[in-house]
Chain A
Amino acid sequence: MCGIAGILYKQPGNHEIGNTLISMLDGCQHRGPDSTGFALYGDKNEQLQLRFIVPTDEAGKSTAINSIANLLEKHNAKIAAEESVGCSYKIGVDFGGDLLAFTKEMEEQAKLVSVGYSLDIIKDDGTAREVDERYDVGSFTGTHAIGHVRLATESAVRPEAAHPFWATGFEDIAIVHNGQITNYWKMRRRLERRDYAFHTDNDSELVAVYLADKLAQGEKLDDALKTAIDDLDGTFSFLVSTPTEIGYAKDHLAAKPMVLLENDEMIAVASEEVSLNRLFPGQAINSTEPAPGTYKTWSL
C-alpha cells in the first residue's frame, strides 16, 4: 500500500544518495504519509552492522539493549561501535560465525531491521523529511538506495512494519514493495518449512525472504526475480537491492504503477513520475513504464 523509489549511480563514488532518496520519497509521500524507510548502500564496513528497533522509553530501551548484549556475548560477537537514535539502536560488531543462526536467535529476542556490511536500513513513523530530521539520512553517501513510503491500512502504524525489509538471515539485501501478495500464507508456510522465520504479518517481508532463499541457493538476482513473478501471486511492483545491484519485478497485470529513467549516470525508478522529476527540476524527462510481468537488474 504505498510508494517506492530507488536510485543507482553507475559510477562508484560517494554520491548523495541520502538527499536524493529523501526528495524522491517526498515527491510521492501522498501515497503513504504514515512511515518512511530507506535502505542505503555506502562503503563496506569492517564490522557487521546491525540496526534494531527498540522501545523509546528509557527502561524499555535499556532492557532491549541488555538482551541484545547478552546474545552478542553468547555468539562471541564484540561491539566495536554503537549509537542510539529515536526508536533505533545501531551497532557494529566483529562477527565470524554462522550468520543465519545468529540472526535467527537475535530476531527472536529483538527487533532486528538491518544486517549488512554496506547496508543500513533506517525506517520510522513519519514522512521522509521527518525521518531525516531524526536520523540525518541526508548526510548518507554511497552508490545506491531504495526507499518506501507507507500507508498503514489494515495494521497499526509501527516502525517495524515499515519498509524496507531485510532478507532474514542474509546480509546486505533489502526490498521495498507496493501491492499485495495474495498467496502470502501458502508461500510463507512453504518457506517456514524450510526453517525461515517471519517476524511480521506483512506480505512484503515474504518478498524479502523469498528472494534471499533463492540467492542462498546460488541463483542470480535476475533469475530470482524471474521466478518471483510466477511464484508470487497478487499485485506488486517491488525493488530489491544487494551490495552491487538493484532490480525490479512487476506483476503480470501491471496493477501497481512504476516508472523508470535511465541515463549515462544513473538508474532511477519510482511509483510515480513526480519522484523522478525531483532529480531534474524544471526539465522534461524521458521516463518509461516497464511492461507487465517484467523484471530487470542493474549493476554498479
Chain B
Amino acid sequence: MVTLDLSQLDITQANEKIRQCGREGVDVEIINPDARHNIGVGLVDPITVKVKGSAGYFCGGLSDGAHYEIESNVGWAVGDNIYTGSVVVGGNAGAIAGVAIRGAEIVIHGNMGSRAGQVMKAGTLCCGGNAAFMSGYMMYGGRIIILGDAAEKVGQDMSAGEIFIGGEIESLGNDTEIVDMAPGDLESINEFLDRYGMSFSGQFTKVVSAGKKLRYGNSEPRTRPQPFFISSQSSSYWNAKVQEDIWIKGEVGRYRIRGYGASKPVPHLNDIAFARDITQAPSDASVLEGINLRTKVGGRFGAKPLDLSMPVMIAPMSFGALSRSVKIALARASRLSGISESTGEGGMLDEQREEADQLIFQMLSGRLGWNIKDMLRADALEIYISQGAKPGLGGQLMAKKVTPELAKIRGIPEGIDLRSPSRHPDVLGADDLVIKVDELREATGHKKPLGIKMGAGRVNDDIKIAYKDGFDFVELDGLQGSTGAASTEVLENVGIPTLSAIQEAVDGLAEIEAKGDMHLVLMGGIKDGIDAVKMLALGAHCVSIGTAAMIAGGCIACMQCHVGSCPVGIATQDKGHEARYDIDRQAQNIHRYFESVRWQMAAITKALGYDDVHSINRDDLVALTPEAAEMTGLRYVPGQRDNTQHDDKLTDLSRKAG
C-alpha cells in the first residue's frame, strides 16, 4: 500500500502516481484529500484506492477495473462513466452519482443527490439513504437500489433498467410504471447488499420504463426521394417538396425527420470571391511544390497536436448513422491523405482505429460508447455540445439503425428511436465545463488535444466560453452542417450560417484579445478547396468536411439517411444494403477527392503570391453580395463577379488531380 498525501501533491501528480501504482499492482491510500476533484480518474488497472476523507467531483471517474473506497462524502458524478470496478462511499454523494456507468458497482451509504444514475447503461448503483429527485433519469439499463426514500420523478424518461425503492416514492417520472418484483430480484438484491455489508428488511417497489415513448407513434412514410439538389431549389412557395411535406404531416401528425443539412439558400462562400485575379495559377502537379499546407491543431496547452498534411479534417460522423464499411473507408482515406478522421457519437471501431493515423474521439451527452480505453487510444478528444444541423439538441438515430450490434457498443436497448440527451449531465454552465475539462485532461494525462464541437448559435458568446474553459480547438458547425437525422424545422431554421459563424467567432476572440490563440475549425457546407481557402482567409485555422466526403464516397444525396435503408450502403445498418458498398473503391474515391482539395488550396495560395496557405487573409477576399459583405465586413465589390472564371479553371484543375 502506497500512501499519497494530497496536502503535498497536486492532483495531476497524485493521479500519475496512482496510475503508476496501478501498473505495478499496488493499492493506494489518499490522505488529506480535501474534497479535491478528479481523484483516481483514468485508472485502468484493478487496484484499490482508499480515500481517507471526502472527495470532490468525478471521484473514480473514467476508469475500468479499479476499486475505490471513500471514507466520507463525494461531490458530483462519483464513478462517472466507469466500465467495471466499484466505488463505495461512506457518506453522502452529490448530484449524478453513478452517471453513465457501464457495469460498475457504486454504493453510497448515505444520501445521494439528484439525477443519480443518469444515462447509466449497466451495473448497479445502490444508495443506503435517500435519493433526491430524478433518480434514474434517462437511464438505458442496469439497476438502481434505493433503501430510503426517492424524491420526485423517479426514472424520468428511462429507456430500460430497473429501479428498486425501499422507502417512499414522492412521484414517478414520465413513461414509467410500477411492476411486481420478478422471481430472483430480491435474492439478487440481498446478495448485493450482503457483499457490501448492508441489509434491508422492508418491501421494495420496482419501477421500470412503461415503454410508451421509446418509439415515435408514427414512423415516416415511404416516399419517392427528392434529392437535395431538387429540394433545395426554392422555385415557389408551394413546390412539390412543400406539398409533400404538408401531406405527410397530415398523416403522421408531428414534425418530419430527414437527413442532410439546411436546404434553404443562405449567404455562403459562393458569395465571396478572391480580390485578385488567380488565373495565373499553374495547373499541373508542380502546383504543390514549395507551398506549405501542413497544419497542426491543438497544442495550446502542451498536448501533442494533430499534425495534418493540409488544414482539413473529416467531420465527425457516427458509426450508427453510417455503416461500419463507410467508417472504414473514411478512416483509410484520412490516412492516405494525411488528415484526421473522427469517431462521431457512439464509440470507436477497432478497424477505424487501425485504418486512421489520426483519430479524434468524440464524447457526447448520452455517453454512448464513451469509455476510457478508447479515449486513451485516440489522438485527440472532442466534447460535443451541439452541431450545426440541430443546435441545442442531441443526436437522433431511428429504430431501424439501432441493431443488436449497435445497441451493444452504445449500451442501449435494441430497436428504440434513440434521441440522445440535449445536454451533458455534468455540464450545466461554463463553470461546470471547466471542471469537466480538468477531468478529461486528468484522465488522459494532459497528453491529448481537447476540442469542443458547437453548433453555431450565440457564437460570439460561446467562443469566449470555449476559450475561457481551456479548449485547444473549437469545431464550429454552421447552419448548413448535415446530419443523419433531425427534424426539418430545426435543420432549416435553427442556427446561423457558416459565414456568420466564422465572423462571430473571430470577432468574439478579438474582443477578449485572444485572436489566434485557440484554433478554429470551421464546418458546415465546405464543398472543396476553394471554400476551404476562403474560410481560412476569414480566420479559420482548419476546415472539416463531411458531406462532400460522403458524396465523393458514393452518396447520392437522396436525404433518406434517417430511414436506415440507404440504397448505396452508407447510412444504414442493414447488412444487405451495406454489402453494396465497396470499401476499397470508395476509400480511393474519397482520398482522390481530398487530393483535389489539396491541389486547389495550393494553387490558390500560389496564385495569390504566398508560399503558406495560412498567410492568406481577409485582404485577399471581397464580398459579391451586400448580405455577405454585411455578415463578414468584407469590401462589397460586385464587379469581381465578372472575374470568377478562375473557378472554372480550378474545377478543371481538380479534375486533373483525380
Contacts and interface: CB of A to CB of B under 8 A. Distances in A.
A172 B464 CA distance: 34
B435 A287 contact: no
B465 A154 contact: yes
Contacts of B72: 284-285
B54 A284 contact: yes
A272 B73 CA distance: 11
A286 interface: yes
Q: Which 5 interchain pairs have the tightest Cβ spacing? A: A274-B35, A273-B35, A254-B114, A153-B430, A154-B461
B465 A153 contact: yes
B468 A153 contact: yes
Interface in A185-234: none
B392 interface: no
B54 A285 contact: yes
Contacts of A273: 35, 54, 56, 73, 75
Given A154-B461, A292-B133, A255 B35 contact: no
A291 interface: yes
A152 B431 CA distance: 10
A276 B72 CA distance: 13
B54 A256 contact: no
Interface residues of B, number: 39
Interface string B234-278: 000000000000000000000000000000000000000000000
B34 A180 contact: no
Contact of A1 (B32, B37, B95, B430): B430
Contact of B461 (A153, A272, A286): A153
Contacts of B35: 27, 272-274, 276-277
25 contacts: A1-B429, A1-B431, A3-B431, A151-B430, A151-B434, A152-B468, A154-B464, A178-B431, A235-B428, A253-B114, A254-B114, A256-B428, A256-B429, A257-B75, A257-B76, A272-B35, A273-B73, A276-B35, A277-B34, A282-B32, A286-B91, A289-B95, A291-B151, A292-B133, A292-B151
A32 interface: yes
B95 A274 contact: no
A254 B75 contact: no
A59 interface: no
Contacts of B92: 287-289
B182 interface: no
A171 B465 CA distance: 34
Interface in A141-156: 151-154, 156
Contacts of A1: 429-431
Interface string B491-532: 000000000000000000001100000000000000000000
B128 interface: no
A151 to B, nearest CB: 5
A31 interface: yes
Contact of B464 (A153, A257, A284, A292): A153
Nearest to A152: B468
A72 interface: no
A148 to B, nearest CB: 12
A1 B133 CA distance: 23
Interface of B: 32, 34-37, 53-54, 56-57, 71-73, 75-76, 91-92, 94-95, 111, 113-115, 132-133, 151, 428-431, 434-435, 438, 461, 464-465, 468-469, 511-512
A180 B468 CA distance: 17
Interface residues of A, number: 36
Given A235-B428, A292-B132, A277 B434 contact: no
B292 to A, nearest CB: 35
A44 interface: no
A249 interface: no
A259 interface: yes
Interface in A257-300: 257, 259, 272-274, 276-277, 282, 284-289, 291-292
Contacts of A256: 428-429
Contacts of B511: 156
Given A153-B468, A277-B34, A277-B53, 17 more contacts: A3-B431, A27-B35, A30-B434, A31-B431, A151-B434, A152-B468, A153-B465, A178-B431, A254-B133, A255-B428, A255-B429, A257-B94, A273-B75, A274-B35, A282-B32, A285-B73, A287-B92
A82 to B, nearest CB: 35
B468 A289 contact: no
Given A30-B435, A235-B428, A254-B114, A274 B56 contact: yes
B94 A259 contact: yes
Contacts of A277: 34-35, 53-54
Nearest to A179: B429
Nearest to B71: A284
A274 B511 CA distance: 34
B95 to A, nearest CB: 6
A239 interface: no
A272 B468 contact: no
Contacts of A151: 430-431, 434, 468
Contacts of B111: 288-289
A31 to B, nearest CB: 5
A120 to B, nearest CB: 26
B95 A254 contact: yes
A2 interface: yes
B203 to A, nearest CB: 25
